[in-house]
Amino acid sequence: MNLFRKIVKGPVESFGSKVLGSIFWPPVSVAVLAESDHDDFLVLDADSHYELPGGIVKRGEDLRDAAQREFREETGFEVDLGELLEIKTSKTGIHFFFKGRVLEGEKNGSWEGRPEFVKREDMRDKAWRIEHSHVHQYLFPD
């Protein structure tokens, strides 16, 4: 199944959502910067870069519900959402970034990447997806 995801499903869904989304409407997306009880963060390892768990908000879906759903789908863990950290706009859409706390679950990746717990001090050196490159300002405010 992982091979199928990497070769077929992932690229097809990724390409389709980018092309159709940019043509017809700017999508609304959510992402979660979620910390565990061990001063580490649950992020997605997408091989060439890291990204925050999250994704597209479904029509009529509440932003917080979407953030929890996407987090669960991409990591296998539940999340207790905290404050809204930021709203960003770009040519690819409107992006809502939430703070969160990792709850119970079991690692279960998706075509977006493999869930990985990363210590705060190691987050600085990671290459990030451009939409998530501002994550450092919340982790290292000084």
Domain count, the chain: 1
Q: Are strands 28-35 and 93-105 parallel, antiparallel or unpaired?
A: parallel
> Could you tell me which residue, 57 or 128, shows the higher pLDDT?
57
Q: How much of the chain, in percent, has pLDDT values that exceed 90?
A: 44
For residue 128, give the CATH number of its domain.
Answer: 3.90.79.10
Range(s) of the domain holding residue 89: 2-139
Model pLDDT for residues 65-101, shown as the tens digit of each residue:
999 999 999 999 999 999 999 998 887 889 999 999 9
Distance from C-alpha of 83 to C-alpha of 139, rounded to nearest angstrom: 15
Q: What does the DSSP assignment read for the chain?
A: -HHHIIIIIHHHHHHHHHHHHHHH-PPEEEEEEEE-TTSEEEEEE-SS-EE-SEEEPPTT--HHHHHHHHHHHHHSEEEEEEEEEEEEEETTEEEEEEEEEEEEE----BTTBEEEEEEHHHHTTS-B-GGGGGGHHHH---
Q: How many CB atoms lie within 10 A of CB 92?
A: 15
For residue 50, the Cα-to-chain-centroid distance in whole angstroms is 9
